[in-house]
Amino acid sequence: MKKLPIGIQTFSKIREEGYTYIDKTEEAFELVNNFTYVFLSRPRRFGKSLFVDTLKELFEGNKKLFEGLYIYDKWNWDEKYPVIKISWDGKNRSIKDLEANLRETLLENQKRLNIKCDDDLDLVICFRRLITEAAEKYNQKVVILIDEYDKPILDVIDDIEQAKEHREYLKGLYSVLKGVDAYIRFAFLTGVSKFSKASIFSGLNMLEDISLVDTFGNICGYTQRDIETSFKDYFVNVDMEGVKRWYNGYNFLKDNVYNPFDILNFIRNKCQFRNYWFETGTPSFLIKLIKSRNYFLPKLTNLIVDDKLLSSFDVENIDLEVILFQSGYLTIEKVIQTPRNIEYKLRIPNLEVQISLNDYILRYLFNHREANYIQNQSYDAFYNGELDVIRDNLTTLFSSIPYTNYTNNELKLYEGFYASVVYSYLASLGFDLIGEDVTNKGRIDLTVFVSDKVYIIEFKVDGVKGEALSQIKHKNYAQKYLDMGKDIYLVGIEFSSSERNIVNFEWEKLER
């Protein structure tokens, strides 16, 4: 079996040292032959850096590295291009950090291209000189590769003023490109988020976003076919349906794909199901946004947005659903063509993200930490239809939320707060959920699917006792699921804002 390229983003090392490589050169061939200025957004650790390095080796004409790959007999290897590659590795907490990182990466490019900038030259001017002098020295247009262009902003996104300062610095740097168009053969920029052209790429109206172009939907990530061919020897006697549920499901308008980081670490750790990708980054900024906007978390299971996914945002105007998508916590389920525009139905991509994100929300938004045996007890109770256990565990859950989470705001009066806590708790257990589940009589607050059971749940705050269960029955919410052949439970949960907990929990089981 070939070695696993865990943490390796260098194309030459992978090819020369016999690591497994998933051929992305067909996408590379289509890209460089049809575009000049390109932007690609993908979540972190999705293979962007490896693809950038693949392009570098391709344009530099390192033919031997591409033997046996799609592009090998299609590329003109006699043409070689000078390549300038910029990446924002390391710490980016201040402008001083940015300047140090940029100086280092420009020195690396100068050394590789055998071009020298004056030591006292402004770094932005040095970048421009590097482009023009490389074109003149090699009598060939230049290729510009900028990996993780937005990292200096995202590294400080929790500090809006610092993020704005970094934005202005990057704007000055990237604006160099618009003045040297005559010297550029191809420019490719990757990132997690798409910031507005006006704020970052002033004047670069020719920059084309391929992030949701179906031709390039698989440009990063592993497909199911990749798993069943290139990695098949590693998955003998492995629960492949479990692998799909845990790690597959990202969609960028082509095939469902896996995050490579998950698959490689799953194999290395003897096929143990863990949150490999999620634990490499903490979404603390997203949690702050969710909290500040009183976001109704059950919406994440049944979310439809317009084409704002294709639009950009800026540090002063961050759309939570867009950044959840771009960061990899949501993905596309389907495209809906309406008479006026295109809409996207979004979903959480897989079990890893569902469990990990909601566990994180419970810990850091609601300050809730629960012993594993209690979570296992709740899990079993839903499987067995033990509603009294569910009631007791949910009551304990709300009792554990600190008083400070309710003070100085209107959370205690906000029905969505209670629904969000229950949703996050059940989602962290790995159940299939639908929030605001639409029927012909209204919307079910939360529907839970567990094996051969369906739980229809309605929430009320400071209402009349029995109102929640009565609404489920009066509006006949169960009608939607009668044909499924499953046991159906109607559950009304009522809260008191003064007691900050459940004060009435009623349920009925429908006879089949």
Q: Rounded CA gap, 455 and 436, in Å?
A: 13
Query: Judging by beta carbons within 10 Å of its beta carbon (0-12, 13-18, 19+), is residue 263 exposed, middle or buried?
Result: buried
In a domain, 505, yes or no: yes
Contact 54, 230 (CB under 8 A): no
The pair of structure tokens assigned to 272 is 């143990």
Strands 303-305, 342-347: pairing is antiparallel
305 and 448 part of one domain: yes
In a domain, 25, yes or no: yes
Contact 189, 38 (CB under 8 A): yes
The stretches in the chain having pLDDT less than 50 are 407-413
Residues in the chain: 512
What's the gap between Cα 231 and its chain centre?
24
Question: Each residue of 384-394: pLDDT tens digit?
Answer: 999 999 999 99
Domain final residue pick, 233, 268, 303? 268
357 and 386 part of one domain: yes
The pair of structure tokens assigned to 214 is 């179906």
Give the pLDDT of residue 311. 73
Give the pLDDT of residue 290. 87
Give the pLDDT of residue 410. 46
Give the pLDDT of residue 408. 47
CATH of the domain at 147: 3.40.50.300
321 and 401 part of one domain: yes
In a domain, 81, yes or no: yes
Give the pLDDT of residue 253. 96
239 and 338 part of one domain: no
- In degrees rounded to 5, what are phi and psi of residue 28? -60, -40
Tell me the H-state helices in 405-458.
Answer: 415-428
309 and 230 part of one domain: no
In a domain, 259, yes or no: yes
Write down the pTM of the prediction: 0.93
Give the pLDDT of residue 317. 81
In a domain, 276, yes or no: no
309 and 264 part of one domain: no
* Number of separate domains in the chain: 3
Q: Look up the domain containing 17 and give its range.
A: 11-216
196 and 254 part of one domain: no
360 and 226 part of one domain: no
Give the pLDDT of residue 412. 45
357 and 424 part of one domain: yes
Domain final residue pick, 216, 238, 259? 216
The pair of structure tokens assigned to 447 is 């529907």
Domain final residue pick, 176, 191, 216? 216
407 and 498 part of one domain: yes
Give the pLDDT of residue 405. 57
295 and 341 part of one domain: yes
In a domain, 6, yes or no: no
The pair of structure tokens assigned to 198 is 């006006």
Strands 303-305, 256-258: pairing is unpaired
Question: Each residue of 323-347: pLDDT tens digit?
Answer: 999 999 999 999 999 888 899 999 9
9: CB partners within 8 A, 6+ apart: 49, 50, 53
Give the pLDDT of residue 309. 77
In a domain, 1, yes or no: no
420 and 446 part of one domain: yes
Q: Rounded CA gap, 85 and 292, in Å?
A: 38
In a domain, 2, yes or no: no
